Amino acid sequence: MENIQNYINGQFTNPVSDDWIDNYNPASGEVYSQIPNSSKDDVENAYKSAKSAFKQWSQTTLEERSRIMLKISELIETNLDRLAEAESKDNGKPLWLAKAVDIPRASSNFRFFANAITQFASESHESVGQNAINYTLRQPIGVVGCISPWNLPLYLFTWKIAPAIAAGNCVVAKPSEVTPMTAYLLGEICNEAGLPKGVLNIVHGLGGSTGQAIVENPDIKAISFTGGTATGAHIARTAAPMFKKLSLELGGKNPNIIFADCDYDDMLTTTVRSSFANQGQICLCGSRIFVEDSIYEKFKTDFVDRVKHLKVGHPSNADTKVGALVSKPHLKKVMSYIDIAKDEGGTILCGGNRITIEGYEDGYYLQPTVIEVLSDECRVNQEEIFGPVVTIMSFSSEQEVLAMANKVDYGLSATLWTNDLKRTMRMSTQLQAGIIWVNTWLMRDLRTPFGGVKNSGVGREGGFEALRFFTEAKNVCIKY
């Protein structure tokens, strides 16, 4: 049993209450570690540690902060295999994916913000005719909270922590209780890199208790949260009376809109990926596919054929394209939507069933599933499923597909396949989403703003947007 511990003040500690939670390996369904179910007392200890480190860290030169962060980035790379194995075992994602995407990106997050902080400039304004100059100070907030989900564990955990500490804050962070392992290993890496004690504190535990305690702490003045929309709304309600700064990156139900004039082969290959990468458990997956009617039947045949050939298997096998879903409750939830689709008159074009892998009979494997739906208003087309399940339907005009694409509560991302420039420009301005990809998917440049509209969230991460979030702007006006 590989027990993990909290990381507070640079030390690994057991929870005060000695309360532990089982952690499952989704590929086998077996318990393989235990994690602390941290209480308010643990969060308070983490907060105190962060507070006592703040004065020194906030006054550490940018060059020194940057040097330590580059060292963390380098050590993540050095530990690529170990971290990727832990991520895959915890989450069920293919090992090759963790090696190619999750862990390299965690390293990039530290490298990117180590450099970005040295380029983060503030404004000055001369008040002409009044002999005065205004300039903006960008000051760290103090102790901030970072709470992340299970789908891209180290990737999203570090996407928050790196800008927070680059900007001079100290952090109390909580990874998902379902995927705690790489966050635990990050503590060791931070110590080895020489991050001063208390700058980063990691508490493990359930959202409703440990996470809630972070949000309820009145002295943690900002919360950067990624997770479900319902949790985001709850956090916003808890935080509002304390006037905390919030960044909420929430759920999605993203349209993938395919016009007949697109580069078909490229579109087909990318659409398989954007539907089923990471078992469809990426907030940016295109879970609603709309296809122009002139190519609908061809697309349907070709797409279903490709999906049927996706290899579902144990995450450690090199040829596995779709691994295990993250947990038993999540598998149950995703499968319930397949029943809902049937009740709503949808046609299961492929998949729809749980798979048993020899030797791992209790693992959480599901066939990649394509559902042809009758209406864009059905539940499977409106609610976030967050698994290897996509819907497809046809459309006949730009206006029709725009209306369907926008008629959801969410607004995270949208993908558009077309070679018509004017249509691209028209639709990009009208699609209600924070991120639009045209003829590509999930191409990320870390300098760009990232976030959603409507129920997909509030605020933007990425580049200087993240550094703005993690700092307070103070205007200084000097009369001369």
In whole angstroms, how far apart are CA 243 and each of 215, 216, 219, 235, 415?
11, 11, 11, 12, 35
- The span from the CA of 448 to the CA of 435, in Å, is 10
> Which residues ranging from 376 to 415 are in contact with ligand NAD (CB under 6 A)?
384, 386, 412
Token readout for 480 is: 């001369």
Which neighbouring-strand residues pair with 225? 147, 248
Q: Residues with Cβ < 8 Å from 10, sequence gap 6 or more?
A: 190, 191, 195, 196, 197, 198
Report how many residues bind ligand NAD under the rule CB under 6 A: 31
Token readout for 249 is: 């990156």
**Is the distance from CB of 92 to CB of 312 less than 8 angstroms?**
no
**Is residue 215 a contact residue for ligand NAD (CB under 6 A)?**
yes
Q: Render the burial of 28-61: b for 16+ CB within 10 Å, e for the rest.
A: bbeeebbbbbbbbebbbbbbbbbbebbeebbebe
**Is the distance from CB of 468 to CB of 130 less than 8 angstroms?**
no
CB of 276 to ligand NAD, least distance (A): 16
Q: Report the candidate in 189, 101, 192, 194 with the shortest Cα–Cα distance to residue 151.
A: 101
3-class DSSP string for 312-327? ECCCCCCCCCECCCCC
Which entry of 283, 372, 461, 465 is annotated as an active-site residue? 283
With H, G, I as helix, E, B as strand and everything else as coil, classify residue 274.
Answer: helix
**Is residue 227 a contact residue for ligand NAD (CB under 6 A)?**
yes
CB of 463 to ligand NAD, least distance (A): 15
Q: Is 283 a catalytic residue?
A: yes
Residue nearest to ligand NAD as judged by C-beta position: 207
Which entry of 177, 249, 292, 461 is annotated as an active-site residue? 249
Q: Report the candidate in 111, 76, 83, 117 with the shortest Cα–Cα distance to residue 98.
A: 83
Give the binding range for ligand NAD (CB under 6 A) out of 134-142, 300-308, 336-344, 449-457.
449-457
Nearer to ligand NAD, 208 or 345 (CB): 208
Nearer to ligand NAD, 68 or 202 (CB): 202
Nearer to ligand NAD, 412 or 446 (CB): 412
**Is the distance from CB of 356 to CB of 367 less than 8 angstroms?**
no
CB atoms within 10 A of CB 383: 16
Give the N- to C-terminal CA distance of the chain in Å, as an integer: 67
**Is residue 85 a contact residue for ligand NAD (CB under 6 A)?**
no
Tell which one of 39, 49, 182, 231 touches ligand NAD (CB under 6 A).
231
Tell which one of 69, 146, 147, 373 touches ligand NAD (CB under 6 A).
147
x/- binding map, residues 237-276, to ligand NAD, per CB under 6 A? ------------xxxx------------------------
Tell which one of 48, 51, 67, 234 touches ligand NAD (CB under 6 A).
234
**Is residue 203 a contact residue for ligand NAD (CB under 6 A)?**
no
Nearer to ligand NAD, 217 or 418 (CB): 217
Give the binding range for ligand NAD (CB under 6 A) out of 21-29, 59-67, 172-180, 421-429.
172-180
**Is the distance from CB of 154 to CB of 182 less than 8 angstroms?**
yes
**Is residue 338 a contact residue for ligand NAD (CB under 6 A)?**
no
Dihedral sign computed on CA atoms, order 361, 364, 365, 367: positive
Give the binding range for ligand NAD (CB under 6 A) out of 29-37, 104-112, 142-150, 165-173.
142-150
Which residues in this chain contact ligand NAD in the complex, by CB under 6 A? 147-151, 156, 174, 176-177, 207-208, 211-212, 215, 226-228, 231, 234-235, 249-252, 283, 384, 386, 412, 452, 456-457
Q: Point out the residues that are catalytic.
A: 249, 283
